[in-house]
Amino acid sequence: MPQRTNKAHAIIVMGVSGSGKSSIGEKLAEALSLRFIEGDQLHPASNVEKMSKGIPLSDADRMPWLDLIGEAMKDALAKGKGVIVTCSALKRLYRERLRAAAGGNLFFVYLEGSRELLTERMGHRKGHFMPSSLLESQLETLEAPTGEPGVVTVDIDGTVEGIAEEARKKLAPLGVS
């Protein structure tokens, strides 16, 4: 396993449901020798219940969840350890809240794909609380992070390994290795 010599940093693998955040996040964490946190596991039970019923989350629903993700990143960074967390981070407001929690030491990997590919992927998932019906709501809410600092965009039309490798290569010039 390669030794990391650079400053600890946090990375959020973001995108709408079905974009592959968990799979890519795990593979990227492995490649960069970083801890991986599945952001969905930090959702309060009330959020999971709403989404399970096909009810989109409001900003008020998301804020406590974003704060838990922020705390997880802040704790890791305070210990000098890097971390990768999955989070839809659909709005710029959410990403700014997460940047503040991480003390600005945060990068985003935005997983971007077509509506057709996302719909197909969600149709193949088993045992996930997020129904395919909420994809449309997420796409309507999404404020793409194009042009924001510390963001790399990766197309999801490929293998998990290929997408994670492209993300790693795009992060390297930002000092993430």
Residue (of 16, 164, 21, 154) closest to 91 by Cα position: 16
CA-CA distance, 138 to 142, in Å (whole number)?
Answer: 6
96 pLDDT higher than 70: yes
Burial class (CB in 10 A: 0-12, 13-18, 19+), 149: exposed
Greatest mean pLDDT among 114-118, 121-125, 132-136: 114-118
Q: Which CATH number covers residue 98? A: 3.40.50.300
The verdict on residue 5 lying in a domain is no
Residue span of the structural domain in which 61 resides: 10-174
pTM of the model: 0.88
pLDDT in tens, 126-171: 544 455 567 788 888 999 999 999 999 999 999 999 999 999 999 9
Q: What residues does 107 pair with on adjacent strands?
A: 11
The verdict on residue 80 lying in a domain is yes
The verdict on residue 79 lying in a domain is yes
Domains contained in the chain, number: 1
